[in-house]
Amino acid sequence: MDVPAVTASSIPVGNTPGVLTETTSEMAVALTFAAARRVVEASRYLADGRFTGSLPGLFLGKLL
């Protein structure tokens, strides 16, 4: 990585080898599942009061 180049572009850079590796991996998997299964979209739909009853195929998303 060209640290001086990214620093000049005001992009923060950090290196913490061996720290938060598992946590970062778990978060990546959780975000992938949430995106594939449309979790945020379904939550907003419910919060907006648009749910009126069972719609089995509405937010199925993609199978991974």
C-alpha 33: how far from its chain's center? Answer: 8
**What is the spatial distance between Cα 37 and Cα 50, in angstroms, rounded to a whole number?**
18
Task: Output the pLDDT for position 14.
Answer: 81
**pLDDT tens-place string over residues 8-60:** 999 888 888 888 889 989 999 999 999 999 999 999 999 999 999 888 888 88
For residue 33, the SS3 value is: helix
Listed residue (61, 24, 23) closest to 39, CA to CA: 61
